Amino acid sequence: MSIVVHDGATTSERSRVIEARWTGGGVAEIARQDAKGDLVQPAWTNGGTIARTVGRLYATSGAGGGSGACTATVVGVRTVVTAAHCVRTSAEGASARAAAWDQDLFFVPGYEGGAGPDGGFTVRRVRMAEDWQVDGRDVAMLEMNPGADGRNVSDVVGVQPISFTSEPGASTHFFGYPYTDRVLHCSGVSTWAAGKAMVRVPCLMGMGSSGGPYLLGDPAEGSVVAVNVSGDAENSYGTALGAFAQNLYQQSEHG
């Protein structure tokens, strides 16, 4: 299958413009929509690597639909993983290839209560599948620009481990920002879905948690094995990170 590579903020001037757009009011505008009580799942308060590496990914819709936010996680020296549909917007009835690229991507790790403790980072390049709407392809690796001080995002917040060979069947922890002012957490025993293209977890988050990590192992330190993409009345579903996601990751880290 084909990999699509899309440039984001490839100059320091473009990075400054994007950062100013979000820190100058864009983040606050979305924060006004956030739930501060009546949370669909408990807030995560146990710290660990996940509290620093998971965050909110902001974007302006390439289809002219305004601004929004998803969830994403630092998984490499300069790589953040999220769902592909968090960075492209489909037109009804149109092919995956014709989807509009979202603009002004801005990642805030550790977001809580309107800001992140370590500021935000712009996206230099996006890598994803050309047929990203197929089950098991809804994942994107984001190659991040360094911060204003020249440090990579991983130098600032650390790296969440990532696995491309894990099997479901154990307790799996799901983290996300379903339009909340802090990261939420739920867990359950995971199973395969969609012919081993997806991982199913019996807990729900809702809109805004797309791209959120599914972790196996210690909930604070475990490995990312899938990213959330959808849900129904009983379960959430994440794209399983297999060989294709590993290829995206390696290109993001070393390409």
Measuring CA to CA, which residue among 131, 149, 217, 209 is closest to residue 175?
209
For residue 122, the model assigns a pLDDT of: 98
Measuring CA to CA, which residue among 175, 50, 183, 59 is closest to residue 113?
183
Measuring CA to CA, which residue among 30, 48, 72, 1 is closest to residue 180?
30
Contact criterion met (CB below 8 Å) for 250 and 231: no
For residue 64, the model assigns a pLDDT of: 73
Q: What is the DSSP letter of 109?
A: E
Class of 3-37+55-157 in CATH? mainly beta
Classify the phi-psi angles of 4: left when phi > 0, otherwise alpha if psi is within -120 to 50, otherwise beta: beta
- State the pTM of this model: 0.97
Structure tokens of 150?
A: 């020249």
Residue 28, classed as helix, strand or coil, is helix
Contact criterion met (CB below 8 Å) for 197 and 163: no
Contact criterion met (CB below 8 Å) for 83 and 237: no
> Which amino acid, one-letter code, is at 49?
T
Contact criterion met (CB below 8 Å) for 225 and 219: no
- Compute, in degrees rounded to 10, the torsion defined by CA atoms 94, 96, 97, 98: 30
Contact criterion met (CB below 8 Å) for 201 and 193: no
For residue 183, the model assigns a pLDDT of: 98
Measuring CA to CA, which residue among 209, 156, 161 is closest to residue 186?
209
Contact criterion met (CB below 8 Å) for 43 and 51: no
Tens of pLDDT, residue by residue, the chain (255 residues): 699 999 999 999 999 999 999 999 999 999 999 999 999 999 999 999 999 999 999 999 877 778 999 999 999 999 999 999 999 988 776 777 788 999 999 999 999 999 999 999 999 999 999 999 999 999 999 999 999 899 999 999 999 999 999 999 999 999 999 999 999 999 999 999 999 999 999 999 999 999 999 999 999 999 999 999 999 999 999 999 999 999 999 999 997
For residue 41, the model assigns a pLDDT of: 97
Contact criterion met (CB below 8 Å) for 205 and 41: yes
The CA distance from 76 to 241, in Å, is: 14
Contact criterion met (CB below 8 Å) for 207 and 70: no
For residue 173, the model assigns a pLDDT of: 98
For residue 87, the model assigns a pLDDT of: 97
Domain boundaries, the chain: 3-37+55-157
For residue 91, the model assigns a pLDDT of: 73
Phi, psi of 53 (to 5 degrees): -90, -25
The CA distance from 212 to 231, in Å, is: 12
For residue 58, the model assigns a pLDDT of: 98
Handedness of CA 215, 217, 222, 225 (dihedral sign): negative
The CA distance from 229 to 82, in Å, is: 9
**Within 13 Å of residue 120, how many CA atoms lie on the same side as its CB?**
29
